[in-house]
Structure 1
């Protein structure tokens, strides 16, 4: 039987659990956009909290409403205006084609647009795109043409939106572009960003007006009920069940963090000996699951830390407190100037430290504390 859980990939819409208020909010904004009052959103949350899975669910719901939608995962290769604009247009043309597949003329238009799109000087190399000036007018005209040809609303979703900050002025320029095309007659579209919880603060330093352009949707850990749903929903039709005691314990250990919930469910499903997964099964496999987390996550991020950063992390193991001040960290770690290391540890793609309150730090998750306790310094 195929394991219905995966910690490595976004959760598909049919297995998506929880986030009822966020989905309801999206549905309201989508309805406004369909009626001609376009809205723009930003999904904000930490690593592994389910932002990409929520984007995929938004895309699915939009397509059910006969809208075209595309998700673009931004990375280091998206390092210029020209590359960004070309990626958006090609992705929209590709993903809109199945939605509008019945009309041959529309398919031909989208395929032709995808092949011909070019917003830089003719013959420009990839390296020179970072220096080139994009044809913003043509980009706007192409998006307006897509809207007019499809005659349906379209959604452009940019995942890992913090990458936009690496392109000087990108946030402000996107805001100006979409403000212009959303004001054009008959154009109905949404721009949706997805990024870390500090995205608005980081954007504000680059462009205050751009922050006001987006409605923020915050994602935190699952509630107990959402955790139960995330575990039980993928089991539909399998005949396998988790008992309540095991799901309660998973919620306690993971604190409702979606990535860790998936890891526990995946491993317990793989190790099951019958049709019912119990608290005893969890206790028996607990060490194996921690080992899995070590191999799949903790080892890779811990190995990238410096000697002084490791001393700081291990200060939390030596302490009997979850929260430590800068002074306490310095005393326990023996590192005198901790500020730069604390900043680095808080700024990793998967932050190893978080700051729950001013001047206080903690490890990003209790499961990481368990890993450190069982790992030589």
Structure 2
């Protein structure tokens, strides 16, 4: 039985990592700058499934080839302020293999009570001193524990949007910003890299305008056709399997070059290989149905359920149109709406179902979502699903 080299889930490295050379080079440049005493801080942002976490993991993997660098990946959680505060500290101590008793002894000397590891539990209460000052001191202790003459500490925060949901947890970003500025000024070479959703920078700017001055944005785009082909052909070659060129083109078109969707399509295609160890358009058609079922269960059904009847008329129009991008006026006069489409379109963008690529122009979020809507069979006149 052949081993399927593709992944059906996000958040893990694919069996073969391709593309992202520019992004990795940019991260390495910022690392070199940080090592030379001019720290940089980056937020990698983009659509769901674009490969932000994979890029973060790949960067961390490549850091192992550099001397005097210490990286800590912190997958953020949706919790309260104290949960996140403690998570950051414990991840740093665990990953850097700092002597835990010695480390916590120093932390406690600062007057900061955090739960210890090994069954001993102290108060989670944030110290009476300013949390910003406390966090700065904690990072300073961590940095001074690094076994190097000129270390670079790299904090890798994954899924930054998880701490942006409310005012309380968002304080972490403000605290981190202040701590990084102060520590960098003191000659501590600490670099910050985070991943976030498409709208993360607007959300930060809306609530914490000063943070934009320190955290540089970097948009992660889709893979090119050649990169998609490479990501598929190299792993399957090892398994003595081949995909027809038409299949590769269909995978690229349907996935829009988004690695997560590409991996799901390739995974199901691999499961359908014929007796000749090939995937033709016949196998692809069966695989695409399985792929749509997976995506429907994971995200499309929930996404669609958030839409109103009037919004569904717009979705139906976009799904059934031969044009990828529709104008505002075309939607207004052809969607059979009971009101002006402005508010409806704005809501659909906010709900992550459509994209506004240019002024007065709108399109569905991706081709797989379009296929899902086509299969639903929405009635253009009523917005109801035809059963």
The TM-score by the shorter chain falls in which range? 0.7 to 0.9
2:99 to 96, 102, 107: 107
Alignment deviations for residues 18-53 of structure 1 (CA, whole Å, 9 cap, x no partner): 111111111121122233322111102111111111
2:239 is matched with which residue?
A: 238
Tell me, in whole angstroms, the C-alpha distance in 1 between the residues paired with 2:291 and 2:282: 14
For 2:191, what is the secondary structure of its paired residue?
Answer: strand
Query: 3-state DSSP class of the match of 1:194?
Result: strand
Decide whether aligned partners of structure 1 residues 201 and 292 sit closer, same or farther in structure 2, where only a CA change above 3 A counts. Answer: closer
How far apart, in 2, do the equivalents of 1:28 and 1:49 lie? 22
Q: Which residue of 2 aligns with 1:100?
A: none
Q: Secondary structure at the match of 1:17?
A: coil
Give 1:315 shift.
Answer: 2.8
Shift of 1:109: 5.2
Alpha-carbon deviations, 1:145-164, whole Å to 9, x = none?
11111133221122222334
Q: CA deviation at 1:14?
A: 5.7
Name 1:341's counterpart in structure 2: 344
Task: Indicate the residue corresponding to 1:49 in structure 2.
Answer: 50
Judge conservation of contact 1:172–1:210 (CA < 8 Å) in 2: yes
Gapped regions of structure 1 (runs ≥ 5):
98-105
Q: What is the CA distance between 1:195 and its match in structure 2? A: 1.1
Shift of 1:54: 0.7
TM-superposed CA distance for 1:318, in Å, is: 4.8
> Given that residues 94 and 111 in structure 1 are in contact (C-alpha distance below 8 angstroms), is that contact kept between their aligned partners in structure 2?
no
SS of equivalent to 1:272: coil
Aligned positions of 1:122-161 closer than 5 A: 135-150=131-146, 151=148, 152-161=151-160
Larger mean Cα displacement after TM superposition, 45-54 or 318-327: 318-327
Is the CA contact 2:106–2:141 (under 8 Å) kept in the aligned structure 1? no
RMSD: 3.2
Whole-Å Cα distance in 2 between the matches of residues 13 and 110 of structure 1?
38
Alignment check: 8 A CA contact 1:90 1:113 kept: no
Count of matched residue pairs: 362
Task: State the TM-score, normalized to the length of structure 2.
Answer: 0.82
Instruction: Describe the superposition over 1:91-132 as per-residue Cα deviations: whole angstroms up to 9, x where unpaired.
Output: 1112222xxxxxxxx434577479979957999988x87xx9
Matched-pair contact (CA < 8 Å) for 2:77–2:163: no
1:200-279 aligned within 5 A: 200-235=201-236, 237-273=238-274, 274-279=276-281
What residue number does 2:315 align with? Answer: 313
Name the SS for the 2:99 alignment partner.
Answer: helix
Asked whether the 8 Å contact 2:273–2:283 carries over to 1, the reply is yes
**TM-score normalised by structure 1 residue count:** 0.84
The CA deviation at 1:355 is 0.5
Q: 1:172 aligns with which of 171, 174, 182?
A: 174
How big is each residue's C-alpha offset from its partner over 1:342-370, in whole Å with a ceiling of 9 and x where there is no partner? Answer: 3332223xx11111111222111122112
Partner-residue secondary structure (3-state), 2:221: coil
CA distance in 1, matches of 2:111, 2:314: 49
What's 2:380 paired with?
none
List alignment gaps of at least 5 residues for structure 2: 116-120, 378-384
